[in-house]
């Protein structure tokens, strides 16, 4: 998704709520958008867009998956046929 940043063009005013989900569970509950303190998510008051929030969440999710993989846990089945049969 980070390669297609244009999909975020014009979306900053679109959502009423946003939520961060990982593996079908909420990391953050649905929260009214815009966030009162986007900098608490992105680490910078200059990055107060939906794009930057999504990018931060994707970065966190990637790090989370890497940690799981270091522990020998697969995060998702790598066999697509098995995955879609579920």
Domain ranges in the chain are: 5-85
Kindly report the pTM of this predicted structure.
Answer: 0.70
Is 8 within 8 Å of 50 (Cβ atoms)? yes
What does each of the 86 residues of the chain score in pLDDT, given as a tens digit?
445 556 777 888 889 999 999 988 999 999 999 888 766 776 776 678 888 899 999 999 999 999 998 998 876 666 777 767 76
How many angstroms separate the Cα of 56 from the Cα of each of 8, 11, 63, 76, 85? 14, 16, 11, 21, 31
Percent of the chain as helix, strand, coil, to the nearest 5: 40, 15, 45
């Amino acid at each position: 998704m980070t390669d297609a940043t244009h999909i975020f063009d014009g979306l900053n005013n679109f959502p009423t709520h946003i939520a961060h989900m990982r593996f079908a569970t909420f990391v953050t509950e649905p929260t009214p958008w815009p966030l009162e303190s986007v900098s608490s998510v992105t680490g910078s008051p200059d990055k107060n867009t939906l794009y930057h929030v999504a990018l931060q969440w994707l970065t966190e999710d990637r790090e989370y998956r890497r940690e799981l993989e270091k522990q020998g846990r697969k995060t998702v089945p790598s066999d697509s046929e098995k995955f879609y049969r579920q």
